[in-house]
Amino acid sequence: METLKLIAMKFYTTIPKKLKTYYDKEIESFQIEFLNGNLKEAWNHLERAHILGQKYPYTHTSVHWKMLKFGFRIKSGSEILGQIPRLIFGGVKSFVGKIPVGNPGGANVPPLKPFPIENELQQMFIKAGIKLNQQ
């Protein structure tokens, strides 16, 4: 007789409220900097929002959508082409918990490569009660 083993798999769905506060602040800062023409600073806030939200499908996909639109607005073919697969697969990988922790999400970095998380963002995770599984 064969025993059926169920694999316990954690699915990530919604960003925790405490972390969402930090994520929303980065998105708001992105919008302000973008409207003021500070493209470098705007992009930096998108990358930070990506790191904060990449574990959760909706926020992860939302940041890649914003990155794709940013690519169109600055007329960057490489960013546009780089964001399309990230937009398609990023949320799915978040859902099953297979993300490259710390990856900033832009087309200028390998999509599956983990990166160190800067101290300020680490503190946001800690204050939100989120444990980081850095590789």
Domain annotation covers residue 131: no
Q: For the segment 73-90, what is each residue's pLDDT rounded down to a tens digit?
A: 999 999 999 999 999 999
Residue 34 has a pLDDT of 97
Domain that holds residue 32: 17-123
Q: What is the mean pLDDT of the chain?
A: 91
User: Does 22 reside within a domain?
Assistant: yes
- Cα separations in angstroms, 15 against 3, 51, 58, 118, 127: 36, 12, 8, 20, 14
Residues of the chain with pLDDT under 70: 1-12, 134-135
Q: Is residue 23 part of a domain?
A: yes
Residue 114 lies in a domain: yes
Structural domain tally of the chain?
A: 1
2 lies in a domain?
A: no
- The confidence score (pLDDT) of residue 5 equals 47
| 79 domain-assigned | yes
Q: With respect to residue 110, please indicate whether it lies within any of the assigned structural domains.
A: yes
Output the pLDDT for position 13: 81
Task: Flag whether 132 is in a domain.
Answer: no
